[in-house]
Structure 1
Amino acid sequence: MTFDAVFIHGAGRRGAAAWPGIGSDAGLFLSFEPGSSIAEQVDVLVAACSGRRPLLFAHSIGAVPAVLAATSGRIQVAALVLVEPALYDIVRGEPSIERHISAVTEARARATEGDLRGFWAILRPLMFGGPFDPDAWEMERPAAERWATTNVPWGHGVRRGMISGIPTLVVTGGWNDEYETIARALLEEGAEHRVIEGAQHRPQDLPGFAAIVAAFRQTTRVDAAR
């Protein structure tokens, strides 16, 4: 298969389902194995891009293996499109970032101790909005079980300055200070930043996303670089 784009999902939807506004012929849609580590995901991504120089699209925590692979020296990429990238390590010390990491750390500790309900009481409002609802607990338990073991997006070796020299577009939804803080840090490293409001953590689902990507590809001459 010939492709000029690779699409990397976040912690929710997988494969092409994570990019419903993108045509199925737009590139390669990766789907990482459930439970795979970040290091394993980097290996999968490197193997998928072997012999290519693609434009990497990554959503949320998918930005972690994308940046690590793109800067590993094992592959070459034409550019990065990072959608609400969860690159928490580049903004450690920022209040909103530290509050989030502290809350998730406390929640995961409860899950480790066997208190899955206590874990969900902390994580659900933090990640999905709205208070914990005891009446919905049995219905939401499978989601709690999955989120209790999913990768956290910090502690994987992502550092400031890693994307320097790689044309990068950052797209955020303008709804969460954590992602806007990360975007500002990437802007300081030379990335472009665009905000598409209306879909919160999934701005790639909105019609304006395609036009922003097209303009980025034209100004950075991604296609000509292939």
Structure 2
Amino acid sequence: MRFYVHGAGRAGREAWPAQSDDGAVFADHSAATTASDKARLLREQCPPRDVVLVAHSLGAVPAALGLDVPSLSHVVLLEPALYDVARGVVAVEEHIAAMTAARKAADAGDLFGYWQVVAPLMFGRPATDEAWEEDEPLAARFAAVERPWGHGIDATVFGAVPALVVTGAWNDEYEAIGERLAVAGASHVHLTGHRHRPQDHPGFEGLVADFVS
């Protein structure tokens, strides 16, 4: 049984348009705001045994905090936002510093100031007055997302089961996280061309099938 855990964007089935319904459970932790509450929801939704966990981006954080390893047979992490495992890496520290400054602006009531940092950093485009009316709800939603660091997650968190980390070779932070997880025993491979969503790559399903078999 595959248990798909979404990131900070689309939730549930909508987050996995390229994946089959067969033998799949699509988690939805979007109703929770903290990593601990998300972890609780995942524990409730996860099948009890023989689970292939497939977690994307921010979804790897509550998965690491909340899923009992004995229930898992394999783990597949897609560009996991497990920043705790790569602290000290320059790219990771620069990202954390920029996002911390942006969050301070949001907390002070300057949501546009927050978006001026986050839009180019996370979405590859500038924050503009012309697009602000459309962007403001997205900025507010991302400003409310709990930080994916500071949870004390160790690189060996999934060390008891075979783990595969898939990154897109486009972002230094995710590559650093993948490398740290590989040092801890995971396999780390690249699927390029789809940036932060390697699960949309046509070779992804074959990669996972080979890994699980």
Q: TM-score range by the shorter chain?
A: over 0.9
Displacement of 1:35 in angstroms is: 4.2
Q: Sequence identity of aligned pairs in percent? A: 44
Partner of 1:32: 29
Q: Deviations over 1:76-122 (max 9, x none)?
A: 21111000000000111110000000011000000000001100001
1:83 and 1:172 in contact (8 A); partners too: yes
Partner of 2:175: 180
Partner of 1:189: 184
Unpaired runs of 5+ residues, structure 2, are none
Displacement of 1:8 in angstroms is: 0.2
Partner of 1:169: 164
1:35 and 1:150 in contact (8 A); partners too: no
2:11 and 2:30 in contact (8 A); partners too: no
| TM alignment of 1:12-51, pairs within 5 A | 12-49=9-46, 51=48
Question: 1:210 corresponds to which letter in structure 2?
Answer: E
Q: Give the direction of change, closer, same or farther, for the CA distance of 1:35–1:124 in structure 2 (3 Å limit).
A: farther
Partner of 1:221: none
**Aligned partners of 2:138 and 2:44: how far apart in 1?**
30
CA RMSD of aligned residues (A): 1.4
Q: Give the direction of change, closer, same or farther, for the CA distance of 1:115–1:35 in structure 2 (3 Å limit).
A: farther
Query: Is 1:147 aligned to residue 121 of structure 2?
Result: no
Could you tell me which of 181, 189, 198 is aligned with 1:203? 198
Unpaired runs of 5+ residues, structure 1, are 219-226
Query: Is 1:53 aligned to residue 40 of structure 2?
Result: no
Indicate the SS of the match to 1:79.
strand
**Aligned partners of 1:50 and 1:192: how far apart in 2?**
24
Query: Is 1:135 aligned to residue 122 of structure 2?
Result: no
Displacement of 1:32 in angstroms is: 1.1
Displacement of 1:50 in angstroms is: 5.6
**Aligned partners of 2:187 and 2:47: how far apart in 1?**
27
**Aligned partners of 1:61 and 1:180: how far apart in 2?**
15
> How many residues get paired?
213
Partner of 1:114: 109
TM-score normalised according to structure 1 size: 0.90
Partner of 1:68: 65
Q: Deviations over 1:177-223 (max 9, x none)?
A: 100110001111111111111110001011110011011011xxxxx
1:11 and 1:60 in contact (8 A); partners too: yes
Q: Give the direction of change, closer, same or farther, for the CA distance of 1:13–1:159 in structure 2 (3 Å limit).
A: same
1:80 and 1:166 in contact (8 A); partners too: yes
TM-score normalised according to structure 2 size: 0.95
2:32 and 2:38 in contact (8 A); partners too: no
**Aligned partners of 1:128 and 1:99: how far apart in 2?**
17
2:168 and 2:192 in contact (8 A); partners too: yes
Question: 2:131 corresponds to which letter in structure 1?
Answer: A
Query: Is 1:5 aligned to residue 7 of structure 2?
Result: no
Could you tell me which of 97, 100, 123 is aligned with 2:95? 100
**Aligned partners of 1:145 and 1:85: how far apart in 2?**
23
**Aligned partners of 2:47 and 2:203: how far apart in 1?**
31
**Aligned partners of 1:36 and 1:44: how far apart in 2?**
11
